[in-house]
Amino acid sequence: MKYLADIGSYFIMLKQVFSRPTKGSVLKELILKEIDELVIDSLGIVIFISFFVGGVVAIQTALNISNPLIPDYLVGFATRQSIILEFAPTFMSIIMAGKMGSFITSSIGSMRVTEQIDALEVMGINPLNYLVFPKIIALLLYPFVIAISMFLGILGGWVAGVYGGFSTSDAFIRGLQEDFISFHIVYAFIKTFAFAFILATVPSWQGFFMKGGALEVGKASTNSFVWTSVLIILTNYIITSLLLS
Amino acid sequence: MIRVENLHKSFGDEEILKGITTTFEKGKTNLIIGQSGSGKTVFLKCLLGLFDAEKGEIYYGEKAINDMDDDEKKELREHMGMVFQGGALFDSMTVEENVMFPLRMFTKKKKDEMLHRVNEVLDRVNLVNANKKFPSEISGGMQKRVAIARAIVNYPRFLFCDEPNSGLDPKTAILIDNLIQEITKEYDITTVVNTHDMNSVMEIGEKIIFLQKGTLAWQGDNSQIFKTDNKDVTDFVYSSDLFKKIRDIQNLEG
């Protein structure tokens, strides 16, 4: 019963996010601030993780294909497929659920605890539009983060494969080009947009409706990570079933 | 003026407000007092529209809040100023940005006009050289002053304060009380202060309503509260040793 009430409150929140808009000039500033805090500030960790995970994927693939019947370009092919189809969009989003999601939940939760959200309401401002809508708009840039992740993941695979002696540069690049289906890129970005929406709204919902004090802010951040990850995994399954199967 | 008629509010089966009827007058500091759990905060939140009452009416001027459409409610809220117990300052903004916030949201003033008004109200609450500081960098008393400045910056018609003295030393508490009273007169606004501080009652209680278990048990002013024979009120007023001693001295002096 509680889960039904939670789902209901999430959708009611979404309705309110898009009603009673905040003044345009203020909204513009809020969106730029959110782009800085959510997108730009995430680039460092995305670059670091993507590059090294790409490298690990290439090494692992190379070490598991000692059979001479398997073509040598498979390292590049497997790295490309893993990074584009799953690692960059899905697993990077789960990592972002921890980084970005906890930040969103704890900042909105702290505002709830210290009556800052009440202050917005008393002033006649729609706090959900003021706090959540700019995050949704800012995360429309999230696919660019994932594009960077894709590029660096493959680059990391190439560096590890070639300089680690697991593949030649020609074979790796041939693997990247082999049997390329451009719809896979479209599929990856469709699900990235869905994950961006989940990343902006689920942690906001957890923070906005939390009750209690500082301890509960911490609990809400943990719940936020769990809920966001679960929803990303479920959405990934549904979109994959619809678009690829 | 704010008029409240037969206000009821419950949470589940528990009735918190049990038919409160009173008025809060313009140009006066109106105090809501009572013990913890008497319904003061719920009453204040009903007045602010943060809680919907099940029964009864709250009139702002001549119009009941329940009869107002969304635009009228929005306009009313633009004319409300609120000082929260903890200040509720936006901690991502500087003092200047906090005070400027209502002007940015609700007016079409230019930046220099807004800045002029911000400096005017910060000066009024005796807060200088704090414009660029963040709330975490200033004291509790200064935070309350910033909260008052933010509440009055857009010339409100109604000012609400929830325990503005909590967490302050007695001297700063009196300064904040006096500031609230001076601003009430200066801006000719209806001020409602939620408190359980007897010093505030003595200093600024031009109209006092005493809540007891969700009912209005007594109302009057600060000259009447020490003479009333209402037992609930006298128990509350003379709950501290200091006030008991003052009463004993007054009795001795006849």
Q: Could you give the percent of chain A with pLDDT greater than 90?
A: 81
Considering the domain boundaries, does residue A15 fall inside one?
A: no
Considering the domain boundaries, does residue B65 fall inside one?
A: yes
Query: For residue A137, how far is the Cα from the chain centroid?
Result: 14
**pLDDT of res. A146:** 96
Considering the domain boundaries, does residue A245 fall inside one?
A: no
B50 vs A contacts (CB less than 8 Å): 118, 121-122
Chain B interface includes A115 (CB < 8 A): yes
The CATH number that applies at residue B72 is 3.40.50.300
In this structure, what token pair is assigned to residue B213?
């278990």
A114 vs B contacts (CB less than 8 Å): 86, 88, 91
**pLDDT of res. A17:** 94
**pLDDT of res. A71:** 84
Examine the pLDDT at B254 and tell me if it is beyond 70: no
Considering the domain boundaries, does residue A164 fall inside one?
A: yes
Of B162 and B252, more confident: B162
Q: CA-CA distances (angstroms) from residue B31 to A160, B88, B189?
A: 72, 21, 14
* Distance from the A198 Cα atom to the nearest Cα atom in chain B, whole angstroms: 24
Examine the pLDDT at A231 and tell me if it is beyond 90: yes
What residues make up the domain containing A113?
25-240
3-state helix, strand, coil in chain B (%, to 5): 40, 25, 35
Question: What mean pLDDT comes out for the span B177-199?
Answer: 88
Chain A interface includes B88 (CB < 8 A): yes
Of A189 and B244, more confident: A189
Question: What mean pLDDT comes out for the span A115-124?
Answer: 89
Per DSSP, B128 falls in state -
Cα-Cα-Cα-Cα dihedral sign, residues B75, B78, B82, B84: positive
Q: CA-CA distances (angstroms) from residue A150 to A52, A85, A161, A203, A235?
A: 12, 9, 16, 25, 20
Q: For residues B190 and B70, state if they share a domain.
A: yes
Per DSSP, A90 falls in state I
Q: CA-CA distances (angstroms) from residue A90 to A47, A116, A164, A204?
A: 15, 34, 27, 20
Stretch among A32-41, A59-68, B108-117 having the lowest mean pLDDT:
A59-68
**pLDDT of res. A245:** 78
Considering the domain boundaries, does residue B84 fall inside one?
A: no
* Distance from the A26 Cα atom to the nearest Cα atom in chain B, whole angstroms: 7
> CA-CA distance, B60 to B51, in Å (whole number)?
16
Q: For residues B33 and B120, state if they share a domain.
A: no
Considering the domain boundaries, does residue B206 fall inside one?
A: yes
Average pLDDT, chain A: 93
Examine the pLDDT at B252 and tell me if it is beyond 80: no
Q: Would the CB atoms of A115 and B86 count as touching at under 8 Å?
A: yes
Considering the domain boundaries, does residue A38 fall inside one?
A: yes
Q: Would the CB atoms of A26 and B91 count as touching at under 8 Å?
A: no
Structural domain count, chain A: 1
Question: What mean pLDDT comes out for the span A224-240?
Answer: 96
Q: For residues B132 and B236, state if they share a domain.
A: no
> CA-CA distance, A160 to B10, in Å (whole number)?
66
What residues make up the domain containing B109?
93-155
Last residue of a domain, one of B116, B136, B155: B155
* Lateral strand order in the sheet of B190-194: B80-83, B158-162, B190-194, B29-33, B207-212, B215-220
Confidence of residue A106 (pLDDT cuts 50, 70, 90): very high
pLDDT digits (tens, 9 = 90+) for A78-102: 999 999 999 999 999 999 999 999 9
> CA-CA distance, B63 to B51, in Å (whole number)?
18
Examine the pLDDT at B242 and tell me if it is beyond 90: no
B91 vs A contacts (CB less than 8 Å): 110, 114, 116
Q: For residues B74 and B162, state if they share a domain.
A: yes
Structural domain count, chain B: 2
**pLDDT of res. A93:** 96
**pLDDT of res. A50:** 96
Considering the domain boundaries, does residue A11 fall inside one?
A: no
Examine the pLDDT at B149 and tell me if it is beyond 80: yes
Of B202 and A4, more confident: A4
Considering the domain boundaries, does residue A95 fall inside one?
A: yes
Examine the pLDDT at A140 and tell me if it is beyond 90: yes
pLDDT digits (tens, 9 = 90+) for B213-231: 888 988 888 888 877 888 8
Average pLDDT, chain B: 87
Q: For residues B148 and B178, state if they share a domain.
A: no
Q: Which residue has the tokens 């414009």?
A: B131
Name the residue facing B77 among A26, A118, A123 (closest C-beta).
A123
Question: What mean pLDDT comes out for the span A223-235?
Answer: 96
Name the residue facing A116 among B80, B90, B104 (closest C-beta).
B90
> CA-CA distance, A87 to A78, in Å (whole number)?
12
Q: For residues B231 and B180, state if they share a domain.
A: yes
Considering the domain boundaries, does residue B71 fall inside one?
A: yes
Considering the domain boundaries, does residue B119 fall inside one?
A: yes
Number of inter-chain CB pairs under 8 A, A vs B: 51
The one-letter code for the residue type at B228 is T
> CA-CA distance, B104 to B114, in Å (whole number)?
8
Cα-Cα-Cα-Cα dihedral sign, residues B167, B172, B176, B181: positive
CA dihedral in degrees (B71, B77, B79, B81; nearest 10)?
-170
Considering the domain boundaries, does residue A197 fall inside one?
A: yes
Nearest CA in chain B to A119: B88
The one-letter code for the residue type at B3 is R
Q: For residues B126 and B33, state if they share a domain.
A: no
Considering the domain boundaries, does residue B40 fall inside one?
A: yes
**pLDDT of res. A92:** 95
Confidence of residue A42 (pLDDT cuts 50, 70, 90): very high
Considering the domain boundaries, does residue B88 fall inside one?
A: no
Considering the domain boundaries, does residue B138 fall inside one?
A: yes
**pLDDT of res. B228:** 81
Considering the domain boundaries, does residue A186 fall inside one?
A: yes
Q: For residues B72 and B116, state if they share a domain.
A: no
Q: Would the CB atoms of A115 and B48 count as touching at under 8 Å?
A: no
Q: For residues B56 and B67, state if they share a domain.
A: yes
